[in-house]
Amino acid sequence: MLYANLRELLAWQHKERPARPRLWHVWGPVSSKDVIEAGCLASTSSICFKVEVPSSILSAAMGCIPQDIFPRPCDTAASLAARLGVNLFLDHAHVLNKGNGKRGRYGKKRVSLLESTFSQPRRMTCSVAVEDAELDDDGDEVWHLFNYTDFGRLAEDWRCSPMPLPIFDLGVQLWSAAHPYLSPSSKQVPPSHCQMLFYYTLFDSKMGRHRDNYNLKWFKSILNDEAATAGTPMGGHENSQHVGSDVLIYTQGDTPMDFQLSFPQPGNLDCATKEYVMKPAFAVSLSAGTLLIYKDIDDQLFCHEANFPIAVKNTLGHRVAFVYRWCTSVKRFHAAPEKRAAFKGDSRFAV
């Protein structure tokens, strides 16, 4: 398997972008009328298109994904979890046991996500290689890769592998398609990092309500025109996404999911996020071939989440989300297969 590296990424500063794929507008930004009627304090900026990616590029990217992680006609939630539990392609992540993080009658505080039927999406995380694999001072073979600090993920649970070239090529196509709508920092080069998120209707998979890189304190500072520290560090480390950059979310799979923005109740900025307001105008269905350009300002001002429609629960559907980002934090990750691409430590490289 060929992998993308930082030199190839930076070369796009001087290369002509590929021809933009055809686009059809699907959703966004939310109209001023809908914003006012909802009692929302801010307009949205994100936008969604249906995009026609060349079939050869899409087929090559999908070909990087092992077929055994997709649902089979005979699958139950238990059989799918058993197969994913021994899969080496997916990140070996751990999550709070029964969602509460407490020890007691459920045993361990955190359990393997892959071996469970929990609703969190399964992931495969990859990055362009900042430097080729080498032996570190401990004698371990490591890659120097960009890291993304997932919301709520502990540092010891970070995973990253070098980005397969077909995944990078898909990112280049999406970058070209989205280019007129990107922030200045995202226009310079294609994204450096990708997480493939796998959602299964058998697990009633969902992405819970959250912000990626910001918090309520930051939100209030924006409304009050005050200075604040950029980003929300996760896992005890620095914020990893390039401040001000966008996120590209490209969907494949046979079952759409509803992507929803939510915001504090009018006159009650301190309400719990579970009490945030949801309105139909602030939602979009992400089906196969859609590209959501999620703007950084929306991550500052809104929470977001993704859920399957109620009608498809307990079916055999799935969705794959290719989530591309521009990251700046470089870390070392194990190269040995038995180490499962685990986080090793800081890198001597800075980008």
Distance of CA 57 to the CA centre of its chain: 20
Q: Nearest-5° angle of CA 249, CA 236, CA 296? A: 30
Reported as a single tens digit per residue, the pLDDT across 109-122 is 778 899 999 999 99
Report whether pLDDT(235) > 50. Answer: no
Reported as a single tens digit per residue, the pLDDT across 277-287 is 999 999 999 99
Distance of CA 116 to the CA centre of its chain: 21
What is the pLDDT, as a whole number, of residue 185?
A: 93
Report whether pLDDT(103) > 60. Answer: no
What is the pLDDT, as a whole number, of residue 41?
A: 87
Reported as a single tens digit per residue, the pLDDT across 292-316 is 999 999 998 999 999 999 878 778 8
Eight-state DSSP code of residue 21: P
Report whether pLDDT(101) > 50. Answer: no
pTM recorded for the entire structure: 0.93
What is the pLDDT, as a whole number, of residue 348?
A: 79
Q: Choose the most confident range, by mean pLDDT, from 20-29, 206-215, 221-230.
A: 20-29
Q: How confident is the model at residue 265 (pLDDT cuts 50, 70, 90)?
A: very high
What is the pLDDT, as a whole number, of residue 240?
A: 77
Name the fold adopted by 6-346.
Jelly Rolls (2.60.120)
Q: How far apart are the first and last CA of the chain?
A: 25
Amino acid at 223: L
Q: Is 155 exposed, middle or buried (0-12, 13-18, 19+ CB in 10 A)?
A: middle
Report the pLDDT averaged over residues 102-110.
57
Q: Hey, where are the domains in the chain?
A: 6-346
